[in-house]
């Protein structure tokens, strides 16, 4: 961009430059959502995500969860109510104090966003930022130059060069979660009752208590891998049920999933992240070590008895 004043002023105008970059990316996100039939603006998504994750909240609680001011949240509420995505509920005993909750249409919009919008945006941004290094201003310039060559919207529509993208859990993918994990466990071990409890009830055992399940989808193949974060304590999670279909090996779907799950754990401010495995899974252990996990005797002592096959326990050190 010729005569770019914001760029020329360096760190002095950093805030304005970041705002310009954010607005550009958000405009593309809005276009992607519109293509999916969703009239949701990017600035409205944090409110919807918080209500989807935590249930009914007051405006004050929303502000605390999101780290935003109440006026900033209030500006988006009227439009979300108008769209029929959220509803206000009077607090029992205090009619002046109102809470917010997703409507049925709001839950459906979130499900469609997780299925038809977020995976494509996540993959496009991940590819856009891949390999960034060096001073902050240089990284920003690299992103700006990349967006000049190809917009975020175009990148999302074309799909990542790797051919892989992340999908969030939905009940429609419960069978994939079961089958992918059952395949690798049965090929190397015996499927234990602990496995069955989770694989047959992923929403009850993982999602509803506050955990996460992600999937890797490959072009032309559909869902090929999955991984979960299962909550086992306050800000404590087990990385579990990570598997890739035998037919999709060699695409680095496992590493792609692990990277995505570690990003999610950081976003959730997880304090203790651990995993349980077997020494027979040498390739997986090498992958875990490469990404910051270390063997840990305390984790083995406290959690190792969960699986008969477990003789390796690791804690994420970052």
> Where, residue-wise, is CATH 3.40.630.30 in the chain?
164-316
Supply the mean pLDDT for the chain.
91
CA–CA gap between residue 299 and residue 279 (Å, rounded): 15
Angle, helices 282-290 vs 253-267, to 10°: value is 40
Can you name the CATH fold of 164-316? Aminopeptidase (3.40.630)
Task: Point out the least confidently predicted range of 13-22, 32-41, 90-99, 237-246.
Answer: 90-99
CB 229 within 8 A of CB 270: yes
Beta pairing, strands 272-277 & 57-58: unpaired
| Alpha-helix residue ranges (DSSP H) falling in the chain | 5-8, 14-35, 45-54, 59-66, 70-82, 104-116, 118-129, 136-149, 152-158, 174-188, 193-199, 202, 253-267, 282-290, 297-303
> Where, residue-wise, is CATH 1.10.10.10 in the chain?
5-158
pLDDT of residue 252: 85
pLDDT one-digit tens code per residue, 225-263: 999 999 999 999 999 999 999 888 877 899 999 999 998
pLDDT of residue 153: 92
Confidence of residue 96 (pLDDT cuts 50, 70, 90): low
> What's the rounded mean pLDDT across residues 24-30?
94
CB 47 within 8 A of CB 66: yes
pTM summary value: 0.68
Strand order in the sheet with 272-277: 164-168, 212-218, 222-233, 236-244, 272-277, 312-316, 293-295
pLDDT one-digit tens code per residue, 111-139: 989 888 888 898 889 888 988 989 999 99
pLDDT of residue 247: 84
Residue with tokens 């500006």: 75
Architecture of the domain delimited by 5-158? Orthogonal Bundle (1.10)
Which DSSP string do the residues of 107-123 spell out, in sequence order?
HHHHHHHHHHTHHHHHH
Confidence of residue 205 (pLDDT cuts 50, 70, 90): very high
Confidence of residue 95 (pLDDT cuts 50, 70, 90): low
């Amino acid at each position: 961009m010729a005569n770019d004043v914001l760029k020329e002023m360096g760190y002095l105008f950093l805030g304005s430059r970041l705002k310009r970059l954010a607005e550009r990316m958000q405009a593309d996100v809005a276009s992607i959502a519109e293509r999916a039939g969703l009239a949701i603006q990017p600035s409205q998504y944090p409110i919807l995500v918080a209500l989807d994750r935590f249930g009914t909240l007051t405006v004050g609680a929303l502000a605390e969860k999101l780290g935003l001011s109440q006026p900033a949240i209030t500006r988006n509420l009227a439009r979300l109510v108008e769209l029929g995505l959220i509803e206000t509920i009077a607090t029992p005993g205090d009619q002046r104090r109102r809470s917010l909750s997703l409507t049925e249409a709001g839950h459906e919009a979130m499900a469609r966003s997780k299925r038809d919008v977020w995976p494509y945006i996540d993959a496009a941004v991940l590819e856009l930022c891949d390999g960034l290094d060096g001073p902050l201003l240089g990284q920003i310039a690299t992103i700006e130059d990349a967006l000049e060559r190809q917009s975020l919207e175009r990148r999302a529509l074309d799909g990542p060069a790797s051919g892989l993208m992340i999908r969030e859990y939905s009940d429609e993918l419960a069978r994939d979660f079961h089958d992918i994990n059952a395949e690798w466990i049965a090929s190397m071990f015996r499927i234990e009752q602990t496995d069955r409890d989770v694989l047959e009830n992923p929403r009850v055992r993982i999602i509803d208590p506050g955990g996460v399940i992600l999937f890797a989808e490959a072009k032309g193949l559909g869902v090929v891998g999955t991984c979960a974060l299962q909550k086992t304590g306050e800000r404590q999670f087990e990385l579990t049920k990570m598997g890739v279909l035998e037919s999709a090996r060699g695409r680095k779907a496992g590493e792609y999933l692990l990277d995505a799950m570690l990003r999610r754990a950081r976003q959730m401010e997880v304090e203790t992240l651990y995993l349980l495995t077997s020494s027979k899974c040498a390739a997986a252990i090498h992958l875990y070590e490469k990404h910051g996990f270390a063997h840990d005797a305390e984790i083995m002592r406290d959690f190792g008895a969960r699986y008969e096959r477990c003789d390796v326990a690791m804690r994420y050190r970052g």
